[in-house]
Amino acid sequence: MTQPSTLDVDLDRDYTMTIDGEPATAPSTFEVVNPATREVIATVPDATAAELDEAVAAAWRAFPGWSARPIEERQALVSAIGDRLEEHAEGFMALLTREQGKPRAGAEWEVGGSIAWFREIAKQSLPDEIVEDGPERRVVTRFTPLGVVGAITPWNFPILLAVWKIAPALVAGNTIVVKPSPFTPLTTLKLAELVSDLLPPGVFNVVCGGDDLGRRISEHPDIRKIAFTGSTETGKRVMASASGTLKRLTLELGGNDPAIVLPDVDPERIAPQLFWAAFQNNAQFCNAAKRLYIHADVYDAVRDALVAYARTVKVGDGAESDTGLGPIQNAPQYEKVKEYFADSRAQGHTFALGGEIDESAPGWFVPVTLVDDPPETSRLVREEPFGPILPLVRWTDEDDVIARANDTDWGLGATVWGADLERIERIGRRLEAGTVWLNEVHQYSPYQAFGGHKQSGIGCENSLHGLTEYTNWQSLTLNKVPGSV
Ligand code: NAD
């Protein structure tokens, strides 16, 4: 169902929230900066408790009508959001690059993915499951919507990770209040504006603000579930805030994904794949390969091939067509990444490439940096820098490398690379991670469950498992013989 927009949406200005289908402002505002230039590109509302309460109230007013609609109608409208976004895809890609910093290819992947997710999640449903149906008794499991969902998203994939929440929440019959990251609110604000004449008022609301607004959403007595993507530290705070009202939670958190490279790889061929496994989105990727375990037999060759390939990738403003990697997205993250550079230098690590940050650059640019075999105990190997500094580590024994890969509180993703398919699968099956990719990486699908083990999260997004998380299950039993026991 394509329904062209009747709205005159200007993606370059007038950033308002959407509450009850209407543009909404707040008593104060804050600025959004282009990370490639450090220039202010927008001023956005900074919602207080009052605007949040209005959004939640609007979402509750919309809930009875929205949840009572036949699912086919909800699916058609969710799919139509994808159509609407596609009409404006070029503008959204440019806006995404401006607010997030990512180059064109990354913006195409993210906006293209957002369109696809709206359309594919819209094909999913959770029909009643008949558990028992005999002459005397019928038992049915139903999946009923929760009510109003709160979604809180990060700055690395701002629009896609919002869509991963909006689409299933609405298909399942909920209404939603979304809070994007204060560093990257623009595409989410414009998405809500773009569809404000398509959806009934109050079904999809966006409020804009900082971390304190996130806390208010997590605590809000009238929100039934929080769908959160962000850091593990913040995820724990969300869980604590949400405990007061026992909200349902889906938490997609941090990771320290190991990549295990077997001795039978072709170093030249594998280098570009390993490079993008680690550095896609400038390594600001929950699922980036963050520790590269390379078998000692090929260690030097893979390291050298990685260095050679990395030299071909331009770091720069994502708006320039030949840029492969953009800037770090924001100032606090830039400061955090700098700490890892300083720590590596202080520990005497060897840089196979990079290592020096030019702080006079116009944006928050950091060079691709490969650290040559730092100790397993170093911060760089143990923590999540979330920036383009990657430790390469040697291994020789299979059991030992698996133990090292699993020796972390995180468990988001992992990859194994090699020609011996039986061996990579054998290793992959022993890794503690929500997604284990074998000879590939960053492959996601609306039909593939995505989530973390251990402290990388609770629950999952995508697939029918993800859709289920936007519902309560209900056992509906019928005794067909009234009066009998
Ligand atoms: P963050 O945790 O700092 O912020 C995420 C969101 O939470 C923002 O909207 C923020 O305003 C809000 N927030 C902050 N404090 C809050 C509080 N006390 N209560 C409620 N909300 C609060 O994360 P970030 O720096 O924006 O994103 C980077 C992190 O996200 C990395 O750790 C990365 O691994 C993780 N991440 C995970 C996934 C995944 O799917 N598992 C995907 C992308 C990013």
What pLDDT is stored for residue 6 in this prediction? 63
pLDDT (mean) for 97-108:
98
Q: Which domain holds residue 205?
A: 17-253+452-475
Share the mean pLDDT of the chain. 97
Nearest Cα residue to atom 23 of ligand 1: 230
Q: At what angle do helices 71-87 and 158-171 cross, to 10 degrees?
A: 160
Quick one: tokens of 292? 């590269």
Residue whose CA is at the smallest distance from ligand 1 atom 18: 215
261 and 230 inside one domain: no
The fraction of the chain above a pLDDT of 90, given in percent, is 97
Atom of ligand 1 nearest to the CA of 237: 18
Same domain, 190 and 265: no
Same structural domain, 398 and 456: no
Pair of tokens at residue 96: 């995404």
Location of structure tokens 């940096």:
369
Q: Cα-flanking dihedrals φ and ψ of residue 318, to 5°?
A: -60, -20
Using the mean position of ligand 1's atoms as its centre, give its distance from the Cα of residue 252 in Å: 9
- 301 three-state secondary structure: helix
CATH number for the domain that contains residue 108 = 3.40.605.10
- Over the stretch 123-158, which tens digit does the pLDDT of each residue have? 999 999 999 999 999 999 999 999 999 999 999 999
| Co-location of 339 and 427 in the same domain | yes
The alpha helices in 21-103, defined as continuous H runs, are 49-68, 71-87, 89-100
Do 462 and 409 share a structural domain? no
Q: Is the model's pLDDT at 232 over the cut of 80?
A: yes
**Catalytic (active-site) positions:** 252, 286
pLDDT tier for residue 484 given thresholds of 50, 70 and 90: confident
Q: Is 281 in the pocket of ligand 1 (CB under 6 A)?
A: no
**Are 133 and 226 in a shared domain?**
yes
Report whether residue 288 contacts ligand 1, using a CB cutoff of 6 Å.
Answer: no
Letter for the amino acid at 484? S
Q: What is the CA radius of gyration of the chain?
A: 23
Higher-scoring residue by pLDDT: 484, 40 = 40
**pLDDT value for 1:** 46
Ligand 1 pocket check for 442: Cβ under 6 Å: no
Q: pLDDT digits over 167-226, tens only?
A: 999 999 999 999 999 999 999 999 999 999 999 999 999 999 999 999 999 999 999 999
What pLDDT sits at residue 273? 98
Cβ proximity of 224 and 149 under 8 Å: yes
Let me know if residue 195 belongs to a domain. yes
Q: Is the pTM of this model over 0.95?
A: yes
d(CA 294, CA 438): 15
The answer to whether 57 and 210 are in contact (CB under 8 A) is: no
Question: What letter would DSSP give residue 257?
Answer: E
For 24-46, give the DSSP string. E--SEEEEEEETTTTEEEEEEEE
Cα(170) to ligand 1 centroid in Å equals 22
pLDDT higher than threshold 90 for residue 14: yes
Q: In DSSP terms, which residues pair with 267 in a beta bridge?
A: none
Instruction: Verify that 377 and 457 share a domain, yes or no.
Output: no
pLDDT of residue 8: 77
Atom of ligand 1 nearest to the CA of 255: 34
Q: Which residues contact 58 (CB under 8 A, 6 or more apart)?
A: 19, 20, 21, 201, 202, 205
What's the pLDDT tens digit per position in 361-397?
Answer: 999 999 999 999 999 999 999 999 999 999 999 999 9
CB of 153 closer than 6 angstroms to any ligand 1 atom = yes
pLDDT, tens only, 325-374: 999 999 999 999 999 999 999 999 999 999 999 999 999 999 999 999 99
Report yes or no: 308 and 409 within 8 Å, Cβ to Cβ: no
For 251-264, what is each residue's pLDDT tens digit? Answer: 999 999 999 999 99
Same domain, yes or no: 231 and 266: no
Phi first, then psi, for residue 208 (nearest 5°) are -125, 135
